[in-house]
Chain A
């Protein structure tokens, strides 16, 4: 079955840039979305179709996808961005979530 691999953790200082990768075979040929999840809360979509932001999502969230890797970038990271992040894609009508990355704002 298809797999999406993310680094378990990323640490970033406030105001700096955090980059979270999501790797999968020929991932660049699929649309990728990204979810943010804070403890005890439902996931919130922050990026869809590789690089689009839903209404209400700050401009500091951006995405890209090429080759075998998709990347979520958080520019000017704020303390409120500390959360778990998951990439998601579809493979032959099966949904797949990435392994998840915990972003810590130090």
Chain B
């Protein structure tokens, strides 16, 4: 069974940093594009970032470009999101997802990030 388990969320002050992790199992991790998608409280889904299977290419939403960095460790089947210069508007549940646009997609349960003083 394919599983994605996010961790690393929590409360952080504005301007602070946080690193999210997503542990994958049940599929060949290096074969798939992985993404982070977030959802602010009571709001819709927002794509944040994606990375190719090899890790060679990464893509970001304008809202996080220059502040967030996506990466992966294929030897440990783990996806990361380094979040710097956090703002109140980054408060959201962050989902890790595999291949979000194909029939092979899988999503984690999400981890909550709260940016507040």
State the A residues within 8 Å of B (CB).
Answer: 1, 31, 33, 35, 37, 42-45, 48-49, 52, 54-55, 84, 86, 88-90, 93-100
Is the CB–CB distance between A33 and B101 below 8 Å? yes
| Consensus secondary structure, chain B interface | loop
Q: Which residues of chain B are within 8 angstroms of A90 by Cβ–Cβ distance?
A: 101
**Is residue B78 within 8 Å, beta carbon to beta carbon, of the partner chain?**
no
Interface range for B: 20 to 34
**How many angstroms between the C-alpha atoms of A33 and B102 in the bound complex?**
8
Give the A-B contact count at a CB cut-off of 8 A.
61
Residues 99-117 of B at the A interface (beta carbon under 8 Å): 100-103, 105, 107-110
Q: Which residues of chain B are within 8 angstroms of A37 by Cβ–Cβ distance?
A: 45
**Chain B residue with minimal CB distance to A86?**
B45
**Is residue B44 within 8 Å, beta carbon to beta carbon, of the partner chain?**
yes
Is the CB–CB distance between B101 and A100 below 8 Å? no
Q: Which residues of chain B are within 8 angstroms of A94 by Cβ–Cβ distance?
A: 47, 59, 61
Q: Which residues of chain A are within 8 angstroms of B71 by Cβ–Cβ distance?
A: none
Is the CB–CB distance between B101 and A31 below 8 Å? yes
Is the CB–CB distance between A93 and B59 below 8 Å? yes
**Is residue B29 within 8 Å, beta carbon to beta carbon, of the partner chain?**
no
